[in-house]
Amino acid sequence: TIASLQADHDRARGMFEESLALDHKRGDQRGEADGLSALGVLAFHAGDYAEAETKLAASVEIYRAVGDRSGLATVLANLGHAVHQQGDSDRAIQLYEEALTHYQDIGDRAGSGFTLAHLGRALHAKGEVERARVMLVDGLVLSNGAADQVAVAEGFEGLAVVAATSGDAEDAARFLGAAGALRERISAPLPPVQETDIAHVVATSTAAIGVDAFLAAKSAGVTLSVADAIALTGLVPSAE
């Protein structure tokens, strides 16, 4: 798998490229799409977002051609990650929204929840703070229902980013406490690509309320449930 090969990027890339060449020779379009998707994700985790975009965009076209909506939704979401990391929030939003449509149509609640979390982050980057909050809350509900704990952690972190921007430093700290505790329980460290956003939340929040108050609120957030987190936002989820 990609995750197991991250420590040996060159070996992983070689394996996927070899598989891609064989699939192309056999005329296996779905195999080609899978291979391009894998190479795109590998490039993303290596920090080569332009290469990730190239590979994932090629995979999207093949998935469209073969009519694989599940594969298409996943690759559209990953392509959204790649373009978002390159600063194109508008295109990322379009990709996440298309991915979300496919996930919803095929009844994939986990995919929908994960995509809503990232759509919320992209909307926040564009300055659409309230819409971002709505997407994050709906994503949390779906991810929690689907028992996708990584997506729940990302939802908490997204709410922390939005809260910090909105001047709710204590809530931001609570959300980070909830996310950190969950990541520790499931052994899923914060991805390096998200470290800058979280560091900004910490800096903004500690500047607003002081280090001691921030740490106290973060500690209180360790026991925060999804329902508690949603209550802090004051929103009523539309997702069920």
pLDDT digits (tens, 9 = 90+) for 33-86: 999 999 999 999 889 999 999 999 999 999 999 999 999 999 999 999 999 999
For residue 240, the model assigns a pLDDT of 65
pLDDT at 186: 95
Q: pTM value?
A: 0.89
pLDDT for residue 7: 56
- Retrieve residue 131's tokens: 């819409």
pLDDT given at position 62:
96
Other Cβ atoms less than 10 A from the Cβ of 4: the count is 8
Residues 6+ apart with CB under 8 A from 65: 29
Q: What is the mean pLDDT of residues 197-210?
A: 97
Please state the separation of Cα 175 from the chain's center in Å.
16
Instruction: Average the pLDDT over 164-188 and give the result.
Output: 97
pLDDT at residue 3, rounded to an integer: 46
Give per-residue pLDDT as tens, 87-137. Answer: 999 999 999 999 999 999 999 999 999 999 999 999 999 999 999 999 999
Distances (CA, A) of 133 to 6, 37, 164: 32, 29, 12
